[in-house]
Structure 1
Amino acid sequence: MTQSAAPTVAFGIDIGGSGIKGAPVDLSTGELAAERLRIPTPSPSRPRAVAETVAELVDAFGVPGTTPVGLTFPAPIKHGVVPFIANLHQSWKGVDVPALMSEAIGRQVVAVNDADAAGVAEVAFGAARGAAGVVLVTTLGTGIGSALFVDGTLVPNTELGHLEIDGHDAEDRAASSARENEGLSWQEWAERLQRYYETVEMLFSPDLIVVGGGVSKKHEKFLPLLRTSAPLVPAALRNSAGIVGAAHLAAHGHR
């Protein structure tokens, strides 16, 4: 019995609070194989409406039935099920995301937390490629996402943006949105980030910290202001990380 050839392309979908994005991904390079398409997230963002939008996205690309499909989701995913939700409709709580999406598009779908997907992309193709030991990937945006790896293996759903630091939920003070909403200078924000990263270093002793999220494209304004024991580097894949990580996991048997 001969084994089927490993897929060379997979389709990644990134579900967010405002938009749902997707594109095919070249699995040999981690690059998008076509320009990504973005469709606004339905309002209200109930499960059935979002699933229909995901199906519309897949249909728009004419994705072959043999192509693996993976998607990111803005909440923890525990054995496929959403335990709690912040950035989409509350009716997602308790939903089996892979089952719902597989039914909607007529093929098996892999679902993963959005920060975990971004981390997987950085480990497979980006700033953490080939890194041994403990790697922490963080995404700075509306909140703080996290993905933790040990010798390349993902420890899922870490949610380290919700660590309580000095009596506050960490992301309330140190997310990129806090800098924008409070009009903080880069120096002022860096002081909050310093407190955050020194806390996660104390707890996890990472060998490498990767900083992603949209603000990472301005990394020269704040990363040099931070002092950590582990190397602190900007993410490489930026806005495509979720799509790439979801596609990679779909092709490599993530459960």
Structure 2
Amino acid sequence: MGATRGFGVDIGGSGIKGCVVDLTAGKLDGERVRIATPTPSTPEAVAEVVGDIVTRFDWDGPVGVTLPAVIKKGTAKTAANIDKSWLEADAGALFTKRLGRDAGQVVVLNDADAAGMAEIRYGWPGDQDGVVVLLTFGTGIGSALFLDGKLVPNTEFGHLEIDGHDAETRAAASVKDEEGLSWEEWAARVTRYINGLENLIWPDLIIVGGGVSKKADKWLPMLDVRTKVVPAELRNDAGIVGAAVAATLAAES
């Protein structure tokens, strides 16, 4: 990777975060900016926030943007935790226009895929071996799947049906807060979810990210699963870092 700095924006159901990224170290280069996700979170409203964040840093290079959606050739195919008007929206063209960039200077990708790319690139070398899953627990549950360090894009393991329910409606971090669950009660739900995932793909390692990864000591020991589970090393900054990596790689290709 030739560039030493990049820029990433991570769009979530509750907040939009962006920052310059040190691509050598795999960490934020300065303080990130976070702005609440607009309500309703329409493409136009979200694009305005993204434009505002990038402008605050006076950044004129390539930009990576994550969305909590399946992304195919820049187009959003799902919209689990953002406004439904994102469905079939050309997110790549939208952000490219709003940011005033040339074609190819803006890359849009799934938020969990971006976080996973960052963890695989900058995490422990052993994290790349075999079947590795990154799960982000936030407003919903995002997932990224890797085989020997290579991404299999757009997995939607947060929407597995567990006990008749969409998994993220029972085990997302937001559900813990909304229902006032204790760490033990929430960990039991996460256990049930991971058991279902284990029986489906038999991973060698699970990396957990999202805001709750900062408090991994409070709930990881309570999980009753057969797979090794570790907290994401980049914590909640992984999406920003991965987005910057993706944009820089695309610009250099």
TM-score normalised over the length of structure 2: 0.91
From 214, 219, 223, the equivalent of 2:216 is 219
Residue 43 of structure 1: SS of its match in structure 2?
coil
Letter in 2 for 1:159: E
**2:181 corresponds to:** 184
**1:236 corresponds to:** 233
- CA shift, 1:203, in A, is 1.0
**1:138 corresponds to:** 135
Letter in 2 for 1:98: G
Give yes or no for the alignment of 1:8 onto 2:24. Answer: no
**1:202 corresponds to:** 199
Residue 110 of structure 1: SS of its match in structure 2?
strand
**1:60 corresponds to:** 56
**Whole-Å Cα distance in 2 between the matches of residues 96 and 35 of structure 1?**
30
**2:27 corresponds to:** 31
Q: Is the 8 A contact 1:145 1:160 kept in 2?
A: yes
Q: Count residues with an aligned counterpart.
A: 249
Residue 253 of structure 1: SS of its match in structure 2?
helix
Q: Is the 8 A contact 1:22 1:38 kept in 2?
A: yes
Give yes or no for the alignment of 1:73 onto 2:98. Answer: no
Letter in 2 for 1:244: V
**Whole-Å Cα distance in 1 between the matches of residues 174 and 44 of structure 2?**
29
Letter in 2 for 1:198: N
Structure 1 residues 177 and 127: CA distance shift in structure 2, 3 A: farther
- CA shift, 1:32, in A, is 0.8
- CA shift, 1:124, in A, is 1.1
**Whole-Å Cα distance in 1 between the matches of residues 165 and 124 of structure 2?**
30
Deviations 1:18-60 (A, max 9, x none): 3322111011111111211123333332222322222222221
> Percent identity of the aligned residues?
57
Residue 54 of structure 1: SS of its match in structure 2?
helix
- CA shift, 1:233, in A, is 0.5
- CA shift, 1:128, in A, is 6.7
Q: Is the 8 A contact 1:25 1:247 kept in 2?
A: yes
TM-score normalised over the length of structure 1: 0.91
From 118, 126, 135, the equivalent of 2:115 is 118
Q: Is the 8 A contact 1:127 1:235 kept in 2?
A: no
- CA shift, 1:95, in A, is 0.8
**2:190 corresponds to:** 193
Q: Is the 8 A contact 2:68 2:142 kept in 1?
A: no
C-alpha RMSD over aligned residues:
1.9
Letter in 1 for 2:182: S
- CA shift, 1:131, in A, is 2.1
- CA shift, 1:212, in A, is 1.1
- CA shift, 1:136, in A, is 0.3
Letter in 1 for 2:40: P
Letter in 1 for 2:71: I
Letter in 2 for 1:9: R
Structure 1 residues 127 and 216: CA distance shift in structure 2, 3 A: farther
Give yes or no for the alignment of 1:89 onto 2:83. Answer: yes
